[in-house]
């Protein structure tokens, strides 16, 4: 077994341009989405129900994953992936030029249309993003490459969210946001020009333009894979269920339970994102550079225990006037809350990276992009399901946010029991002493 660091991949042409392309795309998505939400809340001066518009934004971004992920999977099989990525990133430049116009004109309908366009190009990019990695990386690099991608994605989400807040703080915010999103899109396109060519998986594939039929077909294809792959798809989507549940509640949790201001929200998001990054990078060392399903139970256990810690510690915060992040750190009880958030992130990284790598490694080349598309559709379904469950528990049943965290933690243990009984391989292989060298 070769001994190498995953960070060496960042010095190679077969990985660095791709990494920069996907990082800049995720960063740009979140700058635009968050800027639009903040503009609706504070800047546009609209009379419509703002809560309704914000939920509409979430719907418009996630809807394309239902409509176009399957088509993106087809494109990823039929065409050479590097060229396809360049075309998708060029489309992002054009979409962001329209977004810049919407910002400068203050046109909410145009901005909402652009948000749908951003969701569409992300839905098309997703299957190519994950299916190209096994063609560019050696088998013992796959876990490290996925770790870097997950690290980059979550840090891009964090950076884009914070960056949007900073730009909206400008007196004349529209030109700043418009310039930022266009430059980020252009930088992503330029980075994509250096991605090496790869062979098309299934160049003879006949494209099917019927969205619903293709979505059902790729889902059937995904669940027709070997059990470890199909259940890894479910496990992957379960992570996004948990992530969506926790991240959606962070603003209200920070305000109502921690009595925190917006800097506390940023602190919580930062801890979660840094935890994901650290857990993702830790995977390579713990797995000895191999696709290691045995890390998944470690991550699942950590997710459940960290959720329980968050539930238990939330009730221990003393009531006070609004706190900033420094005042929060001065409270001893807050450190248990922060430990729970950080634990969720680290465990999430340990959980999700091996699942992505297993799906890529064990799916045939000529089916890989479509299976990744099926996984993306499931992810979107589980994220919508998380919103429905949260509404039922918080609004209909009247649970508190900590009680919601308790409920999803218990659900996590139940789902883990199902997953590991369905695929015993997850709990059979890994031993803590088997780690990679420095």
- Quick: pLDDT tens for 208-258: 888 788 888 999 999 999 999 999 999 999 999 999 899 888 888 888 888
* Domain membership flag for residue 307: yes
Q: Report the sign of the C-alpha dihedral through residues 65, 71, 77, 81, in that order.
A: negative
Please state which of the ranges 179-188, 366-375, 381-390, 429-438 shows the lowest mean pLDDT: 429-438
Q: Assess whether 298 and 381 both reside in one domain.
A: yes
On the question of pLDDT at 298 being above 70, the answer is yes
Count the Cβ atoms, other than its own, within 10 Å of residue 139: 12
SS3 of 116, please? helix
Most confident by average pLDDT, 64-68, 114-118, 198-202: 114-118
Is the confidence at residue 397, as pLDDT, over 80? yes
Partners of 260 in the β-ladder: 323
Same domain, 297 and 414: yes
What is the mean pLDDT of the segment spanning 157-165? 89
Helix/strand/coil for 260? strand
Whole-angstrom distance, CA of residue 175 vs CA of residue 155: 25
End-to-end alpha carbon distance in the chain: 13
Which residue, 194, 201, 185, 191, is CA-closest to 81?
201
Buried b / exposed e over 153-174, threshold 16 CB at 10 Å, is bbbbbbbbbbbbbebbeeeebb
Residue 261 forms part of a structural domain: yes
In angstroms, the CA 89 to CA 375 distance is: 22
DSSP per residue over 126-181, as a string?
HHHHHHSHHHHS-GGGHHHHHHHHHHHHHHHHHHHHHHHHHHHTSTTHHHHHHHHH
Instruction: Please tell me the total count of domains within the chain.
Output: 2
**What does the pLDDT read at residue 51?**
66
**Do 344 and 261 fall into the same domain?**
yes
Q: How far is CA 393 from CA 167, 387, 396, 402, 407, in A?
A: 35, 10, 6, 11, 9
With pLDDT > 90 as the criterion, what percentage of the chain qualifies? Answer: 51
Q: How many CB atoms lie within 10 A of CB 417?
A: 11
Same domain, 236 and 178: no
Directed axis angle between helix 16-38 and helix 173-192, to 10°?
160
Q: 245 and 390 in contact (C-beta within 8 Å)?
A: yes
Q: Is residue 203 part of a domain?
A: no
CATH at residue 323: 1.20.1250.20
**Predicted confidence (pLDDT) at residue 438 exceeds the cutoff of 60:** no
Which of the four pLDDT bands, split at 50, 70 and 90, describes residue 433? very low
Residue 128 is encoded by which pair of tokens? 């190519």
Q: Is the pLDDT of residue 283 over 70?
A: yes
Instruction: Please give the Cα distance from 16 to 195 (Å, whole number).
Output: 8
With contact defined as beta carbons under 8 Å apart, do 93 and 182 qualify?
Answer: yes
The CA distances from residue 239 to 16, 39, 199, 217, 368, in Å, are 26, 30, 31, 24, 21
Contacts of residue 326, Cβ cutoff 8 Å, sequence gap at least 6: none
Residue with tokens 């639009």: 36
Residue that wins the pLDDT comparison between 174 and 199: 174
Cα separation of 147 and 141, whole Å?
Answer: 10
User: Residue 436 — pLDDT band, cuts 50, 70, 90?
Assistant: very low
Identify the band that residue 3 occupies on the pLDDT scale cut at 50, 70 and 90: low
Q: How far is CA 80 from CA 87, 112, 230, 303, in A?
A: 11, 31, 25, 38
Taken in order 438, 340, 165, 183, is the CA torsion positive or negative? Answer: positive
The CATH number of the domain where 135 resides is what?
A: 1.20.1250
- Verify that 15 and 116 share a domain, yes or no: yes
pTM of structure: 0.85
Same domain, 245 and 178: no
Answer whether residue 336 shows pLDDT above 90. Answer: yes
In a domain, 126, yes or no: yes
Please indicate, yes or no, whether residues 132 and 264 belong to a single structural domain of this protein: no
Q: Are 255 and 353 in the same domain?
A: yes
Token pair belonging to 262: 């917006």
Q: Is 162 within the bounds of a domain?
A: yes
Q: How many CB atoms lie within 10 A of CB 269?
A: 21
- Secondary structure of residue 323 in the 3-state scheme: strand
| 237 lies in some domain | yes
Q: Sorting pLDDT into bands at 50, 70 and 90, what band is 318?
A: confident
Better pLDDT: 332 or 435: 332
The interaxial angle of helices 368-391 and 211-223, nearest 10 deg, is: 100
What is the rounded average pLDDT of the residues 351-362?
Answer: 91
Residue with tokens 């990019």: 125
Do 170 and 309 lie in one domain? The reply is: no
Percent of the chain predicted with pLDDT > 70: 96
Region 353-358: mean pLDDT is 91
Verify that 172 and 230 share a domain, yes or no. Answer: no
Q: Do 114 and 256 lie in a common domain?
A: no
Give the range of the structural domain holding residue 425, as residue numbers without chain letter. 217-432
Partners of residue 323 on adjacent β-strands = 260
What integer pLDDT is reported at residue 432 of this predicted model? Answer: 52
| CA 108/CA 36 separation, integer angstroms | 9
Do residue 105 and residue 35 come from a single domain?
yes
Q: What is the mean pLDDT of residues 294-320?
A: 90
Query: Does 316 fall in a domain?
Result: yes
In a domain, 438, yes or no: no
Average pLDDT over residues 309-313: 94
pLDDT for 391 beyond 50? yes
The closest of 62, 31, 124, 167 to 373, measured between CA atoms, is: 124
Mean pLDDT of the chain: 89
Q: How confident is the model at residue 431 (pLDDT cuts 50, 70, 90)?
A: low
């Amino acid at each position: 077994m070769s001994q190498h660091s995953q960070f060496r991949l960042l010095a190679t042409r077969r990985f660095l341009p791709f990494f920069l392309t996907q990082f800049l795309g995720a960063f740009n998505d979140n700058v635009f989405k968050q800027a639009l939400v903040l503009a609706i809340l504070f800047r546009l001066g609209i009379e419509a129900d703002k809560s309704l518009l914000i939920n509409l934004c979430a719907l418009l971004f996630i809807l394309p994953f239902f409509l176009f992920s399957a088509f993106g999977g087809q494109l990823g099989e039929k065409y050479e992936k590097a060229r396809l990525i360049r075309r998708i990133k060029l489309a992002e430049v054009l979409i962001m030029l329209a977004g810049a116009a919407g910002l400068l004109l203050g046109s909410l309908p145009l901005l909402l249309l652009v948000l749908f366009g951003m969701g569409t190009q992300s839905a098309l990019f997703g299957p190519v993003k994950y299916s190209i990695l096994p063609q560019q990386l050696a088998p013992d690099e796959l876990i490290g490459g996925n770790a870097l991608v997950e690290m980059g994605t979550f840090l891009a989400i964090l950076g884009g969210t914070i960056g949007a807040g900073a730009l909206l703080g400008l007196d004349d915010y529209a030109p700043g946001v418009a310039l930022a999103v266009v430059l980020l899109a252009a930088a992503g396109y330029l980075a994509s020009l250096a991605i090496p060519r790869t062979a098309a998986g299934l160049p003879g594939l006949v494209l099917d333009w019927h969205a619903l039929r293709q979505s059902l077909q790729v889902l059937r294809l995904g669940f027709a894979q070997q059990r470890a792959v199909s259940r890894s798809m479910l496990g992957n989507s379960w992570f996004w269920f948990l992530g969506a549940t926790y991240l959606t509640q962070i603003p209200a949790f920070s305000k109502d339970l921690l009595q925190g201001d917006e800097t506390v929200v940023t602190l919580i998001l930062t801890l979660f994102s840094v935890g994901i990054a650290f857990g993702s990078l830790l995977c390579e060392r713990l797995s000895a550079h191999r696709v290691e399903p045995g890390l998944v139970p470690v991550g699942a256990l950590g997710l459940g225990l960290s959720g329980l810690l968050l539930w238990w510690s939330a009730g221990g915060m003393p009531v006070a006037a609004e706190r900033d992040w420094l005042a929060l750190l001065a409270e001893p009880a807050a450190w248990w809350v922060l430990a729970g958030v950080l634990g969720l992130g680290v465990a999430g990284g340990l959980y999700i990276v091996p699942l992505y790598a297993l799906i890529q490694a064990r799916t045939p080349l000529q089916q890989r992009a479509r299976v990744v598309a099926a996984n993306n559709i499931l992810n979107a379904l589980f994220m919508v399901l998380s919103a429905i469950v949260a509404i039922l528990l918080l609004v209909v049943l009247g649970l508190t946010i900590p009680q919601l965290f308790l409920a999803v933690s218990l659900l996590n243990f139940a789902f883990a029991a199902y997953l590991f009984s369905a695929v015993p391989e997850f709990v059979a292989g890994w031993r803590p002493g088997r780690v990679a060298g420095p």
